[in-house]
Amino acid sequence: MKTASRPEPAELPPSFDWLVYARHPRNGDLHGFDEADATHHYSTYGCDEGRICGAIDGRGAFLDLIPRGAALLEIGPFCTPCFTPRTHRVRYLDAFPTEQLRLIVGELSWGRPDLVPEIDYVWRGGPYAELIQERFDAVFSSHNFEHQPCLITHLRDIASVLAPGRRLFLIIPDRRYCFDHYLPESTIADVLDAFIERRSKHSARSILEHRLLLTHNETEAHWNGDHGPDPRRRAPSAEIVRIIADNLRSPSVPETYIDTHAWQFVPESFGLLMRTLKAAGLTPFEVERVYPTLRLSNEFYAVLRLPPVAPEAGNAA
């Protein structure tokens, strides 16, 4: 596998910068706060209110953390790639080849088939290291991590194609501000269950939850406390229940990949899960930063980093 000597990546901005928090004009009159005051105010009010608390004040600032010219793998670009060959030495990985992906996108009312990039690596379920014969300076994934059937296997796959000491950049939906609102946060038991089962396709439970227990996807409404009717407190159509049950019991289903959200996070629960996996030796990644969800956003940002010595590829049990 190709790898080369690379300069050390730059230090990342902190997740919380008390000076930015106290002085940002959107945060009101906090200019007289010292570090202790600002930290207390943020933990008491600002975090839940989504106030700006550091240099990463939106998606653009987060994307700018990946240096121009970096050798980058973007996972699951669909028709909205965040990086282009004009600015980065980017390669794209997806579950579908380019032309098939354009057909899928073309069936969506909002889809833009012309924006689908040329897919370099078509993933069919095998180890990344068997598909990709190089190591990247960075790996980027936006609203893709929550779709993985097994998080531990996915993290190990990424580690196998990322250069030692390099970073995985993640944009992840915050379940509180999207259609996942009424679904519970994923736990370490959920993550281990998928790993122990060697899950390569989504469980029937995950698919059922996303057919029966979703709410609206209006981010601003969620921030304003309007989460829609609780689907757990109302009966779905009996006909829909019957159709879904029959479809999932079909003999062809075990061989078919059905996409869905398998995982639900908030920034704190994500950081806890990743640190637990690292401490247990189940992933080589350390949590370097988790940037909080900002007001009127439905996503948070995370950076995981490999140790300077490359982990062994394909060490899944």
Output the tens digit of pLDDT for each of the chain's 317 residues. Answer: 555 456 677 899 999 999 999 999 999 889 999 999 999 999 999 999 999 999 999 999 999 999 999 999 999 999 999 999 999 999 999 999 999 999 999 999 999 999 999 999 999 889 999 999 999 999 999 999 999 999 999 999 999 999 999 999 999 999 999 999 999 999 999 999 999 999 999 999 999 999 999 999 999 999 999 999 999 999 888 998 998 888 888 877 666 778 899 999 999 999 999 999 999 999 999 999 999 999 999 999 999 999 997 555 555 44
Residue 220: closest CA among 299, 143, 297, 301? 297
Pairing of strands 299-305, 162-173: antiparallel
Q: How far apart are the first and last CA of the chain?
A: 22
DSSP SS3 for 139: strand
Rounded Cα distance between 77 and 58, Å, is 19
pLDDT the model gives residue 244: 87
Return the H-helix or E-strand segment holding 162. Answer: strand 162-173
Residue 138: closest CA among 74, 60, 212, 52? 74
Rounded Cα distance between 291 and 286, Å, is 15
pLDDT the model gives residue 6: 62
Rounded Cα distance between 123 and 192, Å, is 23
**Do the Cβ atoms of 84 and 115 come closer than 8 Å?**
no
Report pTM. 0.92
pLDDT the model gives residue 257: 79
What are the φ/ψ torsions at residue 300 (nearest 5 degrees)?
-125, 170
Rounded Cα distance between 148 and 298, Å, is 19
Q: Which two tokens stand for residue 100?
A: 């098939």
Q: Which two tokens stand for residue 176?
A: 């509180």
